[in-house]
A and B are shown apart, each in its own frame.
Chain A
């Protein structure tokens, strides 16, 4: 961004950090980099004096509206302009405490709601925690992956199993999936050779393998999936037929080119082989012979 005349640039750095902490860097441009630096005009100096007052007001409004992170950001802008001002610093620290306190309170409330099975309300509270503190990892995990990773995010509908003495893949599959033959699934999901013994204490990932009906498809009005399959089959047949036709035509042009070549009609032969290649770019004989014909034509036509 360029600095125009009378344009004031404030750079606020929003960095990852502790709850609600939004470090800010305030930059006061010395002037337009493209112009010789001169002492700031009285107009610019006035603007700099005006800015802290403006952001103090904005911070009050944001705090009243409940947007504490933005209020904190504005307070940091004020503090950046007057680092030695104890009152400005106190406002920053007060807001940081307030954000941390609210985030902790709402997180506890969210856990309680989750525990009592009120998942929609719990989600709302976890989101409120993230509004206050986007770097609250526990709240993020709950929102994204659910209580036990059941939302299908990183946890993708799975549970873990810690290997105990006497465990085998068959035994675990029998216990978890009610079918010892599904041992191959445990091996697959955990990258285990099927016959290798399990080490006690190893944690195995056991995904949910419910293959019940999907609720994620949409029935398209006037278009059934069966029709689509039929269309695909028809299309495949049409493709096959198209290919075969093209190959037949390419072969016919190749043969015509050969006849022309034997009749010493080089131009005619090249034309036919070009047609063959346009139908089947991979036609090996046409590709080979057209090159020969072109070289021969070049030799005949080149001055001795």
Chain B
């Protein structure tokens, strides 16, 4: 909680003889200040690779490491998704330069490449899995690996069962069939994750970021606390809980591109 005192007192470390005010509760819940408000970048990765960049969704190991180092060297704090939830409810203050790291799908490279780097920096992360993918092939995670990640700083959350577009009704699908299919995607996957990890599933990332009003209402009804799109924007506390934006990090990004996705404060009048 060093950030809590230093941000309030505007100093890094108190020197002998200095007085320090110690707030005993959040003094700026939701990161709201007289000059503007905090926004939290939620970064989204998919696959990583040791060499080369096979497609836009694959970030090279060296680039990922550079991005994590960039966060550390520029004073960002990586927070778990649970802290973001509290922030979005205006209950909790989080460090001014907070960032959330997420991975989608369940590719083996999260275990092989991302995890060791995250461990090195002590960063928590969330893995949104679509459960049909978790079969332990050369490219995909096994449930054993998912459990290991879950025991070691990864929050395992839901990305549907089959990765279908939740917000789109197929051409030959009746409304009733569409409703039942969406329900299956969000209920069964959650049960499967709970069965394998023994932990609660509270958050969902829409496959392709795709949703609509009905799906958002169903997500809420089924007990999810937050759901994430891939609208490229950092989240203020007053974001809609069922349409929280995330920024996808592409394999083609330079560090400057990466930095452009790290907006953590918006001044009033500059919205």
Contacts and interface: CB of A to CB of B under 8 A. Distances in A.
Contacts of A134: 26, 28-30, 32, 90
Nearest to A143: B238
Contact of B212 (A4, A123, A124, A211): A211
B34 A66 contact: yes
Given A156-B216, A184-B176, A218-B232, A127 B243 contact: no
A182 B268 CA distance: 44
Question: Which of A6, A7, A229 counts the most chain B CB atoms within 10 A?
Answer: A7
Nearest to B214: A209
A6 B18 CA distance: 8
Contacts of B268: 124, 127
Interface string A63-105: 0011100000100010000000000000000000000000000
Contacts of B165: 225
Interface stretch (B118-126, B135-143, B191-199): B135-143
B218 to A, nearest CB: 8
Contacts of A115: none
A54 B19 CA distance: 10
Contacts of B179: 184-185, 188
Given A153-B240, A220-B248, A131 B34 contact: yes
Contact of B241 (A51, A120, A154, A225): A154
Contacts of B248: 218, 220
A215 B139 CA distance: 31
Task: Determine the main DSSP class of B at the interface with A.
Answer: loop
Nearest to A225: B208
Contact of B90 (A12, A120, A144, A158): A144
A241 to B, nearest CB: 9
A167 interface: no
A30 interface: no
B171 interface: no
Interface string B216-239: 110011000000011110000110
Interface in B158-179: 163, 165, 167-169, 175-176, 178-179
B229 A217 contact: yes
Contact of A238 (B20, B24, B139, B252): B139
Interface in A205-246: 207-218, 220-223, 225, 227-229, 232, 235-236, 238-239, 242-243
Given A73-B21, A134-B90, A238-B139, A208 B271 contact: no
B14 A7 contact: yes
Interface string A1-42: 100111111111111100000000100000000000000000
B209 A214 contact: yes
B56 interface: yes
B71 to A, nearest CB: 22
Interface in B29-73: 29-30, 32-34, 37, 55-57
Contacts of B211: 214, 216
Contacts of A209: 213-214, 217
Contacts of B5: 1
Nearest to A15: B25
Interface residues of B, number: 70
A189 B55 CA distance: 41
Contacts of A261: none
Contacts of B231: 215-216, 218
A225 B19 CA distance: 57
A1 B29 CA distance: 23
A130 B27 CA distance: 12
A123 B268 CA distance: 11
A168 interface: no
A218 B21 contact: no
Contacts of B26: 14, 134
A246 B176 CA distance: 41
Interface in A148-178: 151-154, 156-158
B210 A242 contact: no
Interface string B83-123: 00000001000000000000000000000000000000000
B21 A238 contact: no
Question: Which of B26, B32, B217 counts the most chain A CB atoms within 10 A?
Answer: B217
A10 B22 contact: yes
Contacts of B230: 216-218
A223 B57 contact: yes
Contacts of B241: 152-154, 156
Nearest to B135: A239
CB-based closest 8 A-B pairs: A152-B240, A216-B229, A207-B217, A239-B137, A214-B167, A208-B213, A209-B214, A223-B56
16 contacts: A5-B16, A12-B23, A127-B238, A131-B33, A134-B32, A140-B90, A152-B240, A181-B176, A184-B176, A189-B217, A207-B213, A207-B214, A209-B213, A209-B217, A211-B167, A216-B209
Given A12-B22, A153-B241, A216-B167, 5 more contacts: A9-B20, A213-B212, A214-B209, A217-B230, A239-B137
